[in-house]
Structure 1
Amino acid sequence: MSSAKILFGFHAVTVRLKTAPQSIVDIHVDASRRDQRMRQFLARAEEAGVRLIDSDDDRLQRLCGTHRHQGVVARVQPLPMARSLDDVLDGLEVAPLLLVLDGVTDPHNLGACLRVADGAGAHAVIAPKDHAVGVNATVAKVASGAAETVPYFMVTNLARTLAELKERNIWVIGTAGEASRSVFDADLKVPVALVLGAEGTGLRQLTRKTCDELVSIPMRGVVESLNVSVASGICLYEALRQRR
């Protein structure tokens, strides 16, 4: 089934079993693993009426491209997501909260950012097509189900997209270590897009110039920057705190 995608790991596959079992083509499981966690998982899958296939480690690795599959690999049909960023924004009845990632190319970082975005209730994650990673099986595993719930849009021109958000009266806030104003002093109750760059390199120059303002995350130790998923969590949860 060429249109099927791969999910692997207990958490990512269990989330799909809970939310959309009818979209699962089949689940390949390690025939040699029958510990309590696997038995509970198999019982859930059988209850959902999903086709189970016993496999060995080599076949599981070939399916998902990694040995870190925990003995569970599912072939699934993609779930329908919002077709466009405009669809998401037009459908909101609350102030938009968006996460923009500029230059995040590591799938583990993206997966962790999606997980944080889901937890904080962000409405979408946006990234440029030419400086980002797409949602692959590794991203889905790290995201622990959030890759299924958080709309992720890869745009051709990030600066233009940010300009279009500003036309919608969404305040675009970039993060930069040298910014004098702290993220904790910014007003995040308004419609806002939080823009974060990759660890070390930060925001690209054009992205930085397109932002309405720059804020920093206070750093009290010797390290100069945080992992982008940690920084995303700090910023998004500060927005959530302000909006409570």
Structure 2
Amino acid sequence: MNQKKRFDPKTYKKRPNKRLPADDGQLYIYGLHPVIAALANTNRFKHTLYATPNAISKLEEAGANISVKVKDVTPKKLDEMLGTDAVHQGVALHVKPIERDALKDLHEKSLVVVLDQITDPHNVGAILRTACAFGADAVITTMRFAPQETGVLAKSASGALDYTSLIEVKNLGNAIQELQNHGFTCLGFDSEAETALTPDLKSEKLAIVLGAENKGLRQRTRDLCDQMVKLDMPGPIKSLNVSNAAAIALFAATSR
């Protein structure tokens, strides 16, 4: 007669949270603002909307274009799908990543933000949100040492991922040179630069170049920039979070 196997707490492994499959090149955008923006983006493929009844009501009140299959779920089910750390607000949208613009599409644009190996998706998302708010035409990142399009990035961008172009380039130095060939002045930011940023920016086409907080811009990036500037801060702290620095730089650029 077979005996039941006794429970051994030393060998027990907790079953991980169930997640929707993401191995097909698709992703899950969550939160009201990111989902509303994704639903409105005609260039993004939408598969299924997972939402609580309360979230559906909020989407309808906001005028969201719900033209996809809707699946009624509970908040607990969304926690299981996305992980308990995801602030989903009762809604998640199963989508494909956006097909990105190319650098050559920017030759008629006037304001871009260039990120030199900034890896934190929260920072990149916050910069996207700020860039969108100030009317920047694109945010440029590297293919390596930069976050991929994820739900975390989309949530941090609060919808800006579907409003502002996010362009990936293989070689940032070559990208800066191409921008310069299109008439952009590339302004690099460094807290140790000699020249302080002023609101009187002369260039009609401007690229704001920002580096990671712990190491700043790489040497080749610095060498290629037309000018290196710093934020003139009278207080004892001379550096800011990179997303805050981006906001100040974009304010100066759009106040010309």
Choose from 170, 187, 192 the match for 2:201: 187
Q: Match for residue 26 of structure 1? A: 48
* CA-to-aligned-CA distance 1:177-198 (integer Å, 9 cap, x gap): 1222222155254212110112
Q: Match for residue 136 of structure 1? A: 150
Provide the C-alpha distance between the structure 1 equivalents of 2:37 and 2:25, rounded to a whole number of angstroms: 20
Provide the C-alpha distance between the structure 2 equivalents of 1:214 and 1:46, rounded to a whole number of angstroms: 43
Matches within 5 A, 1:129-208: 129-184=143-198, 187-208=201-222
Q: Secondary structure at the match of 2:38?
A: helix
Pairing 1:67–2:86 present: yes
C-alpha displacement of 1:64:
3.1
Aligned pair in 2 of structure 1 residues 138, 240: CA closer, same or farther (>3 Å)?
same
Q: Match for residue 219 of structure 1? A: 233
Aligned pair in 2 of structure 1 residues 131, 39: CA closer, same or farther (>3 Å)?
same
The normalised TM-score by structure 2 is 0.80
Which structure: greater helix fraction?
1
Provide the C-alpha distance between the structure 2 equivalents of 1:164 and 1:149, rounded to a whole number of angstroms: 24
Structure 2: state its 5+ residue gaps.
1-20
Pairing 1:54–2:72 present: yes
Counting aligned pairs with the same residue, the percent is 33
Aligned pair in 2 of structure 1 residues 138, 188: CA closer, same or farther (>3 Å)?
farther
* Aligned amino acid, residue 91 of structure 2: V
C-alpha displacement of 1:106:
0.6
C-alpha displacement of 1:104:
1.0
Provide the C-alpha distance between the structure 1 equivalents of 2:176 and 2:43, rounded to a whole number of angstroms: 36
C-alpha displacement of 1:42:
5.2
Provide the C-alpha distance between the structure 2 equivalents of 1:22 and 1:212, rounded to a whole number of angstroms: 36
* Aligned amino acid, residue 204 of structure 1: R
* Aligned amino acid, residue 105 of structure 2: D
Larger CA deviation: 16-25 vs 4-13: 16-25
Q: Match for residue 102 of structure 1? A: 116
Provide the C-alpha distance between the structure 1 equivalents of 2:25 and 2:222, rounded to a whole number of angstroms: 38
* CA-to-aligned-CA distance 1:5-42 (integer Å, 9 cap, x gap): 311001111223344499432211246xx4xx663325
Q: Match for residue 18 of structure 2? A: none
* Aligned amino acid, residue 60 of structure 1: L
Max Rg structure: 2
Aligned pair in 2 of structure 1 residues 47, 153: CA closer, same or farther (>3 Å)?
closer
Larger CA deviation: 21-30 vs 137-146: 21-30
C-alpha displacement of 1:62:
4.3
Larger CA deviation: 149-158 vs 108-117: 149-158
Pairing 1:76–2:98 present: no
Question: How much is the aligned-residue C-alpha RMSD, in angstroms?
Answer: 2.6
Pairing 1:7–2:29 present: yes
Structure 1: state its 5+ residue gaps.
none
Larger CA deviation: 52-61 vs 152-161: 52-61
Provide the C-alpha distance between the structure 2 equivalents of 1:44 and 1:129, rounded to a whole number of angstroms: 35
Aligned pair in 2 of structure 1 residues 106, 47: CA closer, same or farther (>3 Å)?
closer
- Whether the 8 Å CA contact 1:4–1:75 is kept in 2: the answer is yes
Pairing 1:235–2:249 present: yes
The normalised TM-score by structure 1 is 0.84
